[in-house]
Amino acid sequence: MKNLVLNIQIACSTPKYLPKKKDIYNWINATIPSLKYKKSITLRVVNKKESSELNFKYRGKKNPTNILSFSFLETNLNHIPLIGDLVICAEILENEAYYQKKKIKEHWAHIIIHGTLHLFGYDHVSNHQKKIMENLEKKIMMSLGYCNPYF
């Protein structure tokens, strides 16, 4: 999709694994609806400290998390060409992949897809919402040739 601008910020020591920009771009494109106008997403890769600080500031949770999503789509700033920001803690992602016995690239794909769905208003607060979101994640992952992330 030519109308997506992907900005990547690395705000931590180099992660053990970092997907190629074209892979991240493809994962996001597989997730989002067709864009009429040029819009951007920023992906920021952070350490546990920054993840914890942001998670506490915006969600009231004291621990780091794998991904945080900050959507700008529901604001009154429609003239600004931003979809939102995704903040990923690479260390958490790596640990999850290891302990859940998942391939690291596939886990990155899943978490980026998950976060991108949040940018577009999907959530998993209720069981009904969770089922809808997880089914979408499975469908997108499998369309990309990856395994069901919720085996």
Say what the pTM is. Answer: 0.93
Tell whether residue 107 is among the known ligand binding residues. no
Laid out side by side, the sheet with 82-89 consists of 4-11, 39-46, 82-89, 67-71
Tell whether residue 114 is among the known ligand binding residues. yes
Q: What is the pLDDT of residue 14?
A: 82
Model confidence at 80, pLDDT cuts 50, 70, 90, reads low
Structure tokens at 138: 């499975």
Structure tokens at 146: 């990856």
Model confidence at 82, pLDDT cuts 50, 70, 90, reads confident
Cα–Cα distance for residue pair 89/135, rounded to 1 Å = 24
Asked whether 41 and 116 are in contact (CB, 8 A), the reply is yes
Nearest 10 degrees: CA dihedral of 146, 64, 48, 91? -20
Which of 104, 83, 84 minimizes the C-alpha distance to 93? 104
Which of 66, 72, 85, 100 minimizes the C-alpha distance to 28? 85
Q: What is the pLDDT of residue 16?
A: 87
Task: State mean pLDDT over 8-21.
Answer: 93
Largest interatomic CA distance in the chain = 43
Asked whether 88 and 95 are in contact (CB, 8 A), the reply is no
Amino acid sitting at position 57: K
Higher pLDDT, 32 or 100: 100
Domains and CATH numbers, the chain: 4-143 (3.40.390.30)
Kindly report, residue by residue over 25-64, the tens digit of the pLDDT.
999 999 987 766 778 999 999 999 999 999 999 999 999 9
Task: State mean pLDDT over 82-90.
Answer: 95
